[in-house]
Amino acid sequence: MRTLDLIIKKRSKERLSKEEIRFLVDGYTKGEVPDYQMSAFLMAVYFQGMDEQEASDLTEAMLYSGDVLDLSQIKGIKIDKHSTGGVGDKTSLVVGPLLASLGIKVAKMSGRGLGHTGGTLDKLESIPGYRIQLDETSFIRQVNEIGIALVGQTQELVPADKKLYALRDVTGTVESIPLIASSIMSKKLASGADVISLDVKVGSGAFMKNVESATKLAELMVQIGKRFGKKISAVLTNMDEPLGFAVGNSLEVIEAIQTLNGHGPKDFTELCLELAGHTLVDAQIAGNLEEAKKMLLAQIANKEGLYTLKKLVEAQGGDGDYILHPDRFTPAKYQKQILSGSTGYVHHIDALAIGNAAMLLGAGRAKMGDEIDHSVGIVLSCKVGDFVQKNDVIATIYSNREDVFAEEKMIAEAFCFQKDPTSSKLILKVVK
C-alpha cells in the first residue's frame, strides 16, 4: 500500500477502504507519512468529500490512534456535550451542573478558546485555583462522588486529531464536513460517554454559516455516533447574534451563575434547557422534552444546579465562594459605554464582530499560546428585536487599557437598526 496511490484514488473520487484510511492515519501519526503527502490527501478530501462509511472509518482510525477512556467504573449513565463554538457560549457551565444534579454523570473534556470563540477551560480558570488537569483515577472518582468533572483533554487522547487539525489549519482544509465530523466525533467517542449532546452553531459568529451545511454536519456526526452505539442528538442553534449578553471569560461565568439562580438571559436559558432536555430524553431519564424541561427548571428553582457547580469548582481546587458571591470576581480596570447612533429596533448584531472585538481586548487568542485576560470583555444591553433610542447604551466594554477606540468602533458597527420590529429564532433544527 502506497500513500501516493491513496491520494490519487481519493482525488479521482473513489472510495477508500477502512484499511486504507487506517494506513494513512497511523502512518501520519507515527511520522511515516510526511506532511506534504497528508496535505495532498486532505485537499483531495476537501474537494471530493467522503461518504458516511469513509467518515466513520476515518473517525475510528483517529479514535484508536491513542488512548480511549474506560469509564466503566463510573456508575450510571455517562454523558458528554460538544459545541462547535460561538460568541458568548457558556452552556457547559449551566448544562453540566443541571444534568449532574439530576443524577446523570457528566464526564466532560473541554478545550481552550482560539480566535473569537471562548473555551470552557478559559472561563473556568477565571475562578481562582481551578485546576483543569486531573489524572484518570481522580477524574473517575470525582464523577462518581459529585456527578461531574470538567477537565482538559490529555495528550494521549486522539493524537491523530491534534496532528491533522494543525495541518488542516495551515493548508486551507479546515472547512470540510467529513474532516470536521471525524475530528469532533473521534474526541467525543474517546471520552467514553454513553450519551452525546451536540450543539451545532449556525450564523455569522459560527463556523457553519448556513443551515444547509450545518444540517449536513449534524446528520453526519449523529450517524457516526449511532454506528458506535451511542445515544446522540444534535441541536442547530442560531449564532447570528451573541448568546446571552456577556462575552468574555469571568463575565460569562457570572452570567452562567445568574442563569443557575433563575435570572439568566432568555435566549441563553432557552438553549440550556433545550440541550439538557434532549440529553435527559436520550438518557431515558425523561419521557419527552416538555417533561425534561420541567425537571431542569425545578433544579434551577431549588438551586441544586448552582450548588453542583460550586461542588465542581471546589473539587478541582477552585474557590467555590465565587459561585455564591460572583461580585468577588476582579472587575476590569476601565468600563466604556457604547451608545446607539440610531433610534429603532435592533435588526442584527454581528456576532463575529463582537467576538473579534472581545478577542482584541484580550478575552480570546489570535493564536495558541496567547495569554488570556479573564476580566475583560463586552456586555450587551440589548438583543435583536429590542427598541432603542438614539444615545441609549447598547453595550459596555470591560478593559484593562484605556484606549479601546478600535474595539468601540467594531462594536458600534456590529449593530444594525430598522424601523419595524424583527425577531430571531434560536433553535433552528434538531437532528436525532
Angle at 215 between CA 210 and CA 217, to 5 degrees: 100
> 26 an active-site residue?
no
* CA distance linking residue 152 with residue 113, whole number of Å: 12
CA distance 280 to 282: 6
How far is it, in rounded angstroms, from Cα 168 to Cα 379? 33
Kindly tell me the sign of the dihedral angle through the C-alpha atoms of 160, 166, 169, 170.
negative
**Three-state DSSP class for 317?**
coil
Of these residues, 161, 199, 282, 373, which one is catalytic? 161
User: Is 161 assigned a catalytic role?
Assistant: yes
**Strands 344-349 and 415-418, how do they pair?**
antiparallel
Are the C-beta atoms of 299 and 98 separated by less than 8 Å?
yes
The catalytically annotated residue of 112, 123, 163, 187 is 187
The number of residues in the chain equals: 432
Q: Give me the catalytic one of 82, 108, 116, 310.
A: 82
Which entry of 10, 81, 108, 168 is annotated as an active-site residue?
A: 168
Q: 187 catalytic, yes or no?
A: yes
Hunting for cell 474595539 — which residue is that? 407
CB distance 339 to 394 below 8 Å: yes
Task: Compute the chain's Rg from CA coordinates.
Answer: 22
Rounded Cα gap, residues 111 and 151, in angstroms: 8
- Phi first, then psi: give them for residue 5, nearest 5 degrees: -65, -35
The question of whether 168 is a catalytic residue gets the answer yes
- Least Cα distance to 364 among 250, 251, 249, 200 occurs for 249
- The C-alpha atoms of residue 70 and residue 171 are separated, in whole angstroms, by 34
**82: annotated active-site residue:** yes
Query: 12 phi and psi, to 5 degrees?
Result: -85, 10
Residue (of 251, 270, 297) closest to 199 by Cα position? 270
Selected catalytic residue, list 56, 83, 110, 183: 183
Residues carrying an active site annotation: 82, 161, 168, 183, 187
